[in-house]
Structure formats: structure tokens, C-alpha cells
Amino acid sequence: MQAFGASKAANLLFTYDLAHRLASSNVTVNAFYPGIVKTSLMREAPVPLRWLNSLFGQSPEPVAQSVVYYASSPDVQAMTGLFFNKGRQPMDSSPYTKDRAVQQQLWEASMALAPLKVESGEEQPD
């Protein structure tokens, strides 16, 4: 569970940093929290978690519809650097995930692991 939580924090850090880096473009970058979803990802979770998922989890279809909404709706086309859920309102995340220095550290570590060529017109990190 600790690794799962850390991976979700990393997703948010990367999302916020990428949105910052692309702020002057027409590209939007947001994160989405699906809630508890009945998928095979839970098959190796501890039994109590699998049981709770079977009781309270939702089917993947409505979650997928929400993702499609955020990817394609004119209602959110200008919104970037946000964390959404299916309620159509941005959510707040921990102060840690909004720390620009931590976001930039993750970016630098990611670039060291998977170096990409940076286009000459792209804004460089602060």
C-alpha cells in the first residue's frame, strides 16, 4: 500500500510539473481520481481490501466515461494543472504534491532514467 500511495503522489507531482512546463502552449495536463473501481488490479490485494472493493467498487464503464469527459469536453478544455474526480470539480491534493522543488526533482530523476531530447522552443525548468 505504501508503494501504491507513493506512485499516486508521483503521478500528481509529474502532472503538476508538466502542466507548469506546458502552460504557454495549448496542451492541458490534468490528473483524475477514479475512486474505488472493480478491476483485476485488486486481485493481489489483501483479502479485506478485495472484499471492500467488491462491496463498494464501481464498474469501470462510468469511470471511463468520466475520463473521456475530461479528455474531450469543451467545458474543461482550458483547465490545466488540476486534479479531478468524477464529480466534475477539481479536488485538492497534499501540499507535498504541489511543492515545485519536489516536482522538479521528480522531473530531473525521470529525465535521467529516460532522457528525451528537449525541443529548442520549449521552456526550460526554473
Average pLDDT, the chain: 88
Maximum distance among all Cα pairs of the chain, rounded to whole angstroms? 52
Report pTM.
0.81
Overall fold of domain 2-113: Rossmann fold (3.40.50)
Q: What is the pLDDT of residue 36?
A: 86
Angle between the 2-21 and 100-113 helix axes, to the nearest 10 degrees?
100
Strands 90-91 and 83-85: antiparallel
Q: Where are the beta strands (DSSP E) in 56-124?
A: 83-85, 90-91
Contacts of 28 (CB under 8 A, 6+ apart): 19, 22, 76, 77, 78, 79, 80
Give CA 81 to chain center in angstroms: 10
User: Does residue 115 or residue 126 have the better pLDDT?
Assistant: 115
- pLDDT tens by residue, 61-78: 999 999 999 999 999 889
